[in-house]
Amino acid sequence: MRSLGTRRVALAAGAATVAAMALGGCSAGQVAETALLQSPISGLNTQSPDGRVLIRNLQVVYNDPEGYPANGDASLEMALFNQTTEPVTVLISSKPLQNETEGIVSARQIGLTGGAAAASPSPNPEPSGSRPSTDEQPGGVNQPSVQPSLPSAPASAPAAEALQPARITLPPLSSATFLPEDDQKVFATGLSDELKPGNSLSLVFEISGYSQPLEIQAPFAIPLSPASRAPVEVEEQE
């Protein structure tokens, strides 16, 4: 005959075994939630006050820990989504803030290179260098999705006369994406000061059909991998 203590130990062991089997059955054939998560995007996500145009993953392309010098050129990354059934034109420029703020840099010009941008509304052609995206979800609702890009060395901006105004026309329910590896790129030229990690770039978005310009500060991109650490040379003292 078993003692009371022995029976309690046996019951506890049996309960633990049943719980382990139940948990194993529940998790069988399922994918962990963390496996479905995508890498975070460091860029700024915003939109026009009326919600007609979405701005996604807006940021200054990372080049190195030193950033971009004053009066230099910086490459930009962004995606624009037209949520309406009418063409929308977006003009991007830069101007200094009324109250100078440390770490916020302006540019003399925001321009496009590597192809001609659509200058007037047109329902058929897409903006050159863009990636149209109307990812339709169940229920007929188009939801924009932007995948994070790996940082790459930004290309040098061409001469000022080769840049075109950053005027982008989005056909109805479409998007335009500008990445460092695309043929058409967005550049900020004539930086007012050093633009380095931790700083941001002052931008102005003028959207057709909306009278109030949208003033935004584009952050400096965060690298997905840390900078290499070169060995430090120690000078020998006599």
Provide the residue ranges of all domains of the chain, joining segments of one domain with +. 40-219
Could you give the CA distance from residue 187 to residue 73 in angstroms, rounded to a whole number? 7
Q: Which CATH number fits domain 40-219: 3.30.56.10, 2.60.40.1890, 3.40.50.2300, 3.65.10.10?
A: 2.60.40.1890
Radius of gyration for the alpha carbons in the chain, expressed in angstroms and rounded: 26
pLDDT of residue 44: 95
Query: pLDDT 10s per residue in the chain (238 long)?
Result: 555 555 555 555 555 555 555 555 444 444 443 443 444 557 999 999 999 999 999 999 999 999 999 999 999 999 999 999 999 999 999 999 877 788 999 999 999 987 544 433 333 333 333 444 444 444 444 445 444 444 444 556 655 557 899 999 999 999 999 998 899 999 999 999 999 999 999 999 999 988 789 999 999 998 876 655 555 555 555 5
List C-alpha distances in Å: 105 to 33, 97, 223: 40, 9, 20
- The whole-number pLDDT of residue 128 equals 36
**What six digits make up the tokens of 236?**
């020998």
Report which secondary-structure segment, H or E, holds 14.
helix 4-27
